[in-house]
Structure 1
């Protein structure tokens, strides 16, 4: 199991290294938001200092990478399904779940590297974060990426059409990210918005990130975020694996 998953992971990484431009482009939007948008938010924090602004804004930028990067990971799988590549892999002697696990592991590694780069830019701009909080935030990003990538692969195997997947992802991703308070805390909004946000698992991911960046390791949103995102990740991962098995049937 581990050997076959690592083989698929190695294949995916070698393919990625042949064209590493797209992952780098994936961090451009969050970096631009950090550089040009974060300085405008001084009045939304108590002190107005750049470290406090960055502690509030950077977690949302990182969740943007996790969602909009990983949610479109399944597009390559649609092309492989259309060309018959995935069917041949699914009926091969390889352990079928390893095909999904190798891809998801690649997506998580890419996401963690992107998160490190974005946090590096934020640190250069004045962000202060301790090593434990830094590492926990990377783990939170990896779990979020596991959920988003597994969901993308499940949608790709179920719909098998780029336009359909794109429209469905954009239809749900935009309102979910807005309600999560990606750019500004939901606490600044009206009561009805704050109530609605509590039914959005991404809200807890963003709030957990802000707690970590403030150094508040005891905040309740951190375990809630991990529990929700790990649960959703397992559900979507199992769904994508079963969808692959049906493809081979």
Structure 2
């Protein structure tokens, strides 16, 4: 099975103290420590496990600058077979649709049975997987926490739904899946693995290489723009209601009535 996993280089929340930039519309990223997006890391681990079981190869791809190559090498050290960097000044400032369009162009250059993304990345929109599937006209499932590879024509996909219940679906291949954290336990990447891929050549594909539509990429063509970015003011502490379930319900109803909520 040929699997493509879309990954992203993001600020490491465990290693950074975040501050806003002077414009107030983004984080100050100059001195941040970056790593692979957590959700994407689970997607790569799942892809590797599938290939270990049924055969094939795993390719990781990212849209970014030269520094994003470190994310690809990290995932290759983890066990991915190939990496592809999509990099061009024209990509800078692209919104979700633009990023999905760039990835679509790369997907169409290959022949993949399964395309995986993380359920979301640092900006929390959770939109790339769905957009990519729609652009490719492929089946799609989000928040996937279980994959059973079958006969090479379909996969069984599990999703946690409301109430903690598990939903299982059979999806035709090729398809796009957005992976939820907890689907597996990503393996440790040792120094030996990092050294092994340190000198591997990673192809870089530009806008011209991909033939991507220039009218949908870049800052000027973005339909969604961030206009503000702020840390919300801290409010008062929460009030904990005590008593039996019935007493708590009665107290909550009275509070909602007093606040005009009922």
What TM-score, normalized by structure 1, do the two folds share?
Answer: 0.32
Instruction: Answer with 1 or 2: which has the greater Rg.
Output: 2
Richer in strand (by share): 2
TM-score w.r.t. the length of structure 2 is 0.31
Q: Which has the higher helix share?
A: 1
